[in-house]
Structure 1
């Protein structure tokens, strides 16, 4: 691969490695690295090998990842190795060398205007983070930088772009809703007890991205902003009024953002007033399970089933939201609807083709071995129905190119839906599926 081609590849989806800096001539084999933990007075030394690995001294253990090398050297749980290791003869951080590499790569990738735009945007975000004024942006706006609308198969590319500029989002952009505001910041220099994995740098020996993460988290269900609550010394009337004004079924009781005391619900209020006429707020408080925003939703379902809600904390462990069984039901409905619609479309298209054609006619149109109508897929339906002879045989008073174009869209929707990610498909997409289903049912019987 040529230098320019390699640069364009790097900017388009994977993390920069030490070996890239070596190949670009920004480092040499034998370059000395040093990691100083000034707070406790420890110093660790390493050398860059000819293979682009980091060899710790004096034990000789080698790592591709600067972060992994720093973690093992210092015995730390997590550390951003790019900002930990200093290139001794250049007296600058390894991260600075990486930034120079990225600048060169973008400047040689002239036709990749999008990459240049993203690079410059992230450079600005990094500068603000270093100045102590980190940028705040919604997840939806963050995704738009890469020209995408959901967290599908471009997540690895986005994470690589952020990591290459020494940035992370807080909270982690995978584990919250699209409209949650996240901060573009740098990882803590020496995290002792990380509160959430998303705000730490990737430390695996990676070449293509971060850890595999296809979970649906508690934070994916509901934005963690604007939580209404009352204090433990509030009156029961204040709690009831707050619930009525906002149509709440439950209300958090907090002594402070990081000190939940429980919650009140209509049931607990009714039971308290039944037990004790003139009951106060304290008589109606019930236990509330508290979970982190990045907890796997499946792990929390038993608590939701038992208590009907949980309090949710953000990356700083402050209580920022409530997730209820209704929220879970709504999200599962959003995720399940396209599956059922696509299943109905699949069955209907198969039925139409089976009624109109025999297997011998269908087989050569599929471009692959088919020995049963049950083996047909959306790509097969498209190839079969775009055949003019087949279309004429159906006798539909419809425009074939327009129908096939929409069927191709449906095929792409199907592929996207089957590659799970936490974002529900748009209502416009759902409507496309519904309209296409209605059309098929109207003309499903061949003329």
Structure 2
């Protein structure tokens, strides 16, 4: 379709820079060398807009000829993923917990007291708020005493081998480093120390992330056992076809979690399970689990809420109890 040269520049700005342009329908039609919204004109204009993935808000056909419309790119699907897709150690609570520290010239008893009070195995020893000289640990204290050190100052019990990680270090890299070194100190761009990450912190974070997956696996396995040997393979194939799903079905495991729910939602299918529980209540809670499952599969490093985790624990226990009598 023939368009004016100046309109080509507008189209380019919209496509390349996502700009928006306001104009009247009359001016808009003029770009196409048209003055009226006849069926033929609008058909050609619509095809052009579709090919360029551009739209008018509101639709130019329905607006007063001298009213106002906005010419813009059609909405683009956005991802919920943050601009930085890499998980960083900055998401760990321990990386954001200002470390308890001591100094070279502090008394050994001061360091020991702090370690005992906070249940720490190590303390960073600083010369100033942004400069570290080493760590004092139960191991370094024991090693020094074993070798005859009897002084009362922290500086004589130091471990000078330590690792500093930047606040934006990728989480996976940090975990590998912590496993190797047992602990690291985290430093921000302004050189201040924001926290200490230990093996215990990594283990806690690992549990936070993996426990929901293990609970979900337990729940799904228990559901499969409830469905086991209750349906013909052809029944499952027909069920999937009714959902416009042509996947190959050979076992119960080939169904999705959502399909488990939709399968037993049907009264005639529910009867085959011979369960002495309330179907509607059971289905409702399965849908709660399904929603939690969706959250888990999107991998949120902060994990799920305590309420969500408890819902999974309760469902796993419930299904286990049902299996005892099924």
The one-character-per-residue Cα deviations of 1:85-114 (angstroms, maximum 9, x if unpaired) are xxxxxxxxxxxxxxxxxxxxxxx9xxxxxx
SS in 1 for 2:229: helix
Is 1:400 the counterpart of 2:254 in the alignment? no
Which residue of structure 2 lines up, in the alignment, with residue 266 of structure 1? 138
Deviation at 1:24, TM superposition (A): 4.7
Partner Cα separation in structure 2 for residue 343 and residue 375 of structure 1? 14
Which residue of structure 2 lines up, in the alignment, with residue 116 of structure 1? none
Partner Cα separation in structure 2 for residue 347 and residue 446 of structure 1? 16
Which residue of structure 2 lines up, in the alignment, with residue 371 of structure 1? 249
Which residue of structure 1 lines up, in the alignment, with residue 288 of structure 2? 409
Q: 1:339 aligns with which of 192, 205, 213?
A: 213
Is 1:418 the counterpart of 2:297 in the alignment? yes
SS in 2 for 1:439: helix
Tell me the TM-score normalised to structure 2 length.
0.70
The one-character-per-residue Cα deviations of 1:295-353 (angstroms, maximum 9, x if unpaired) are 01222234322331100112422112111000000100110111111111122212221
SS in 1 for 2:319: helix
Contact 2:88/2:167 (8 A) holds in 1 = no
Partner Cα separation in structure 2 for residue 256 and residue 218 of structure 1? 23
Partner Cα separation in structure 2 for residue 278 and residue 229 of structure 1? 22
Q: 1:281 aligns with which of 145, 154, 162?
A: 154
Deviation at 1:395, TM superposition (A): 2.5
Moved more, 265-274 or 409-418: 409-418
Higher fraction of helix: 2
Written as runs of structure 1 = structure 2, the 5 A alignment for 1:245-394 is 245-279=117-151, 280-286=153-159, 287-366=161-240, 367=243, 368-369=245-246, 370-373=248-251, 374-394=253-273
Written as runs of structure 1 = structure 2, the 5 A alignment for 1:94-243 is 154-156=80-82, 210-211=83-84, 213-217=85-89, 219-243=91-115
Is 1:437 the counterpart of 2:311 in the alignment? no
Query: Structure 1 residues 214 and 390, CA, compared in 2 at 3 Å: closer, same or farther?
Result: farther
Deviation at 1:276, TM superposition (A): 2.5
The one-character-per-residue Cα deviations of 1:241-285 (angstroms, maximum 9, x if unpaired) are 111121111111111221011111111111111112313311221
SS in 1 for 2:123: strand
Equivalent residues, number: 252
Deviation at 1:421, TM superposition (A): 2.5
Which residue of structure 2 lines up, in the alignment, with residue 103 of structure 1? none
Which residue of structure 1 lines up, in the alignment, with residue 31 of structure 2? none
Partner Cα separation in structure 1 for residue 171 and residue 93 of structure 2? 9
Partner Cα separation in structure 2 for residue 277 and residue 386 of structure 1? 73
Instruction: Decide which structure has the larger Cα Rg and report it.
Output: 2
Deviation at 1:22, TM superposition (A): 4.9
Contact 1:216/1:422 (8 A) holds in 2 = no
Query: Structure 1 residues 272 and 219, CA, compared in 2 at 3 Å: closer, same or farther?
Result: farther
Deviation at 1:155, TM superposition (A): 4.9
Partner Cα separation in structure 2 for residue 385 and residue 308 of structure 1? 49
Which residue of structure 2 lines up, in the alignment, with residue 23 of structure 1? 21
SS in 1 for 2:127: strand
